[in-house]
């Protein structure tokens, strides 16, 4: 409901992902990072938020409308996830929502991990999740163009069942997960996070949430 004297702002999140890859990656491919552009706005007073295409950032002036980054750390290094669809609420009461048909890999090559190794996941902001769901998909069968557009990049598009899934225990603003015994090869790790309801959420029928994707090479 619009308060008197205040005009609601409605920002539309949009993204143009521009990338070019002609072949599905092997264990050490070189995918091109997407070029993203976005316009965004949201209304702290209106019971409605825009829906757009997936974008890693959405900003107007000093407003940055996106969930925290999620990073995984292994013995071999670290990787920051590709941010997928989300619904997010700022402390100011601004809110925004995106969707995404697929996710471009977050790096030029998969992060090496070992079966039996414990991976540590951490958010870039101190905003502890309420729930975390983690699922692992083989690259084979889940890697294709993320949209019908001829120029769309290839990326992670869920087509098969996960090879394993779990709900890790939240530890502050992060969690850990031990890689199970898996056949060697490249995999995508899909992480879905939900946060507690925000007191200034203009859409009380929704809770803050985000989907993230990592790309790893299991050995």
CA dist., res. 187 & res. 190, Å (int): 10
Task: Decide if 30 is inside a domain.
Answer: no
Lookup result for tokens 């143009």:
16
Q: Residue 54's pLDDT is what?
A: 40
Asked if residue 39 belongs to a domain, the reply is no
User: Does residue 177 fall inside a structural domain?
Assistant: yes
Structural domain containing residue 76: 51-218
pLDDT per position as a tens digit, 164-218 = 999 999 999 999 999 999 999 999 999 999 999 999 999 999 999 999 999 999 9
pLDDT mean over 86-99:
95
HSE-CB for 156 with a 13 A CA cutoff: 28
Cβ atoms of residues 86 and 92 within 8 Å: no
Q: What is the pLDDT of residues 30-87, one digit of tens each?
A: 333 333 323 333 433 333 334 443 444 444 455 789 999 999 999 999 999 999 999 9
Structure-block tokens of residue 31: 């995918």
Establish if 106 belongs to a structural domain: yes
Q: How confident is the model at residue 106 (pLDDT cuts 50, 70, 90)?
A: very high
Look up the pTM and report it.
0.73
Q: Are 85 and 211 in contact (CB under 8 A)?
A: yes
pLDDT for position 4: 41
What is the per-residue pLDDT for 184?
98
Q: Is residue 131 part of a domain?
A: yes
- State both tokens at 25: 């990656």
pLDDT at 62: 59
CA 215 to centroid of chain Cα atoms: 12
Q: How many CB atoms lie within 10 A of CB 217?
A: 19
- pLDDT of 13 above 90: no
Residue 6, in any domain of the structure: no
Q: For the chain, what is the domain count? A: 1
Rama region for 116: left / alpha / beta (φ>0; ψ in -120 to 50; rest): left
pLDDT reported for residue 55 = 41
Query: Which two tokens mark 142?
Result: 């889940």
pLDDT confidence tier of residue 115, bands split at 50, 70 and 90: very high
**Which helix (H) or strand (E) is 188 found in, with range?**
strand 185-194
- pLDDT class for 127, splitting at 50, 70, 90? very high
Residue 31 lies in a domain: no
- pLDDT at position 101 is 87
Position 29 in a domain: no
Distance, CA of 184 to CA of 113 (rounded, Å):
10
Average pLDDT of span 103-114: 96
Residue among 209, 219, 212, 213 nearest 95 (CA): 209
Whether 65 contacts 111, CB under 8 Å: no
């Amino acid at each position: 409901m619009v308060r008197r004297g205040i005009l609601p702002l409605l920002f539309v999140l949009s993204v143009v992902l521009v990338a070019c890859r002609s072949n599905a990656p092997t264990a050490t491919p070189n995918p091109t990072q997407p070029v993203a552009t976005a316009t965004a706005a949201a209304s702290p007073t209106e019971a409605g938020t825009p829906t757009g295409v997936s974008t890693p950032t959405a900003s107007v002036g000093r407003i940055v409308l996106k969930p925290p980054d999620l990073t995984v750390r292994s013995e071999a290094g670290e990787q920051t996830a590709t941010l997928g669809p989300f619904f997010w609420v700022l402390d100011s009461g601004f809110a925004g929502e995106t969707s995404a048909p697929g996710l471009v890999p977050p790096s030029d090559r998969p992060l090496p991990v070992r079966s039996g190794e414990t991976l540590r996941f951490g958010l870039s902001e101190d905003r502890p999740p309420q729930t975390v769901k983690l699922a692992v998909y083989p690259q084979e069968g889940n890697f294709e163009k993320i949209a019908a557009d001829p120029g769309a990049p290839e990326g992670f598009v869920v087509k098969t069942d996960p090879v394993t899934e779990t709900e890790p225990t939240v530890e502050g603003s992060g969690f850990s997960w031990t890689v199970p015994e898996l056949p060697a090869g490249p995999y995508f790790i899909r992480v879905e996070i939900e946060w507690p309801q925000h007191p200034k959420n203009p859409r009380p029928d929704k809770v803050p949430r985000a989907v993230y994707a990592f790309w790893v090479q299991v050995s």
